[in-house]
Structure 1
């Protein structure tokens, strides 16, 4: 017998009546002539299933458990015993493994089959149920259909929770749960008993999903705060120790360079190299300190750029403009940090060296390739005097650092001179926002 699907529990009742008719029709095709029709149980649920307090206790147990794989087997066995106890003597009983939950936990990519305690599905049936649910996940519309699936185990498969977001990698951002009832389900469905089981499981799993999501968010926030505190502690240590020593070394190496002006050529070159390396080390240390204090949390990249503009407006009389054509773009922290450093360096160069009066930042999506692949394009352009990158002296290593940072995040970096004058810095990377 083929597998039938019930509609999702969220927002509407499962399509139980339609499934019941289909199961009855399939049984009629194999029922011998003159055979007695199946005996249906009473339509009024027995006391066990009307015990609201007991069912609420089951729901609460599911919602508050730490691990569904440990809690659900005993819950399912209890519900299975309740169902069998509520059926009339002539009704079909649930046999071994004829009730289970196909569950995918928060953040997991695959489903697993959870059976009642002491019972187990055959391996082939478990694997086929996992395949069916995985195929349904690729077609969200299938969750609201009643259809047959060739090769599927006989019975009814009903969505208990919604799979609202699998994310770009296919890993679920919410949990996803299905209830499978074995072949002798028509009598149970027609009696309305299945509704009680579905409601109990669905409410409990939905609440458990909310609890897990809230716990994951709290954990994420706690880890982020701990990392922020650790970065600030490290920044303070760098500032009070290494940065001070490097500042002194930079000043002394500058004195050494001036003192070596009349020394042999190789001594002058050596003194200049020591001074250059001291400046580089001091600058990189200062950037590490600034980066440790940088915070953006869940703010999109446009907010980071806004903050940079606000920072430079207090230090310069230039006019700054942000042309943002992306509503929301969230980057991983490591990538956002490198982008921020590159943009800050470009803006610093414009303020210090370009003699510019206007600076424009532009953020947009661009397409390239076949088929087009979305890329992010970030442009920093001023109306200053411009320069030729080939004429930059080796001692001015800011441009090299910007190129290194772009390489670290897999971005394309370029410095060009527009026809109208000034300098344009472009940074582009493949769209992989979070």
Structure 2
């Protein structure tokens, strides 16, 4: 925006106008005073002409010898420079005419005086004096008129000067002071962070208009910048708040999983924390085993009108399961849910590793017991069998009573030895897989080599529903049931089915299509069924063995989840 009327130029012009007006008024006053400098002299000389006229009349009547001198003086007075000024062009025409008439009348009277005709002079003297009085009066009026003109010029100059001063004050207030006050007021608004200040006068054609335009533009830019910064601060604050809340949620989740034994309750607590924090409708955790086993935890009630969102749980490039949720009206923070998924993945992985570790400890403990039994009790039983054989050779064969006792002792010793071998075989079972399906496969592989029957496994039971001790006992029961089917059933198909019962308990069923069990009473020297029942009791469950109507035997193990 260009400056059309500069404030400094306008004020300078007004000041120059005041100076010019002062110079003009002062000059006119000075000129008037200069023009009036001979007015008093002219009045005095004019007034003296009356006295000299009467003196000439007196000299004429008395024949005074000074008549010639007085005529000469009168002529000098009438033609004095003060009176000669009235002959100039700037003198009023009436004064010029009267002065010209006085000169003409004096020339006539002078001729009468020099002709010594006193009567004519005296007769004309009265009119001549009146003419002089009129001339003096005109001079006086002209002098007064000049004084009035000088006074008028001074008054007008004073009034004009006062008017210009008031106009400059009004102009300064309207064009300078008020715009500056508005800018100061607007600057106070901006200092307090408010950009809705009263509008400035940007239409002014001077520097302040340019300044107001620049100030308004700057204020608008500052408002946009301030709003942008406020939005960024609010956005950063929101992000920090979300990050802080996310850290709190993650901390609570880690605390829930930072226990000595990670179990179902820990994962349920994590799901509850996430659901309450993110205001989710429902959240579900599905853990996938290598088989068909699924472990599902649900927090909240499913809304069929809302869509599910999914996130895969992975650890060490191994798919562990899936985390799914239903959002409410607000969207879930993506980074938070990813971190929760990572925590759950690590928790599941740690749960399996912990279970594997405990299972290995149990297996090592059982292997230690097996070695102790083999090194102590097995060696003792072998020694007794050797000694019994030597005893048989020493006692005559016709000693029936002694041979009967030895035969009973040999049978009991053989039964004890057989039972010990079964215990050693049981204790030497080495299963190191925490996954139930993989553990069953590892268990069945060596048994499959002992029979031509087909052994099939169907595992829909989640590994997380069993702890390490439960899994070891369950695997021992499965092994014993499969071995019984291999040895005694003469079956062609053996199936192992692991699933959840309708009441939520774990259920393992081993069936075969063989001859079927004849009785639940074990033969003398066999303890497999009793050991299986004892193991089921330790699991807090029940063991049901019965003959199938379609043929074969069914062994059903029911026990609660961990």
TM-score, structure 1 as length reference: 0.48
Q: Relative to total residues, which structure has the larger helix share, 1 or 2?
A: 2
Higher relative contact order, chain-length normalized (CA < 8 Å, sep 6+): 1
Larger radius of gyration: 2
TM-score, structure 2 as length reference: 0.39
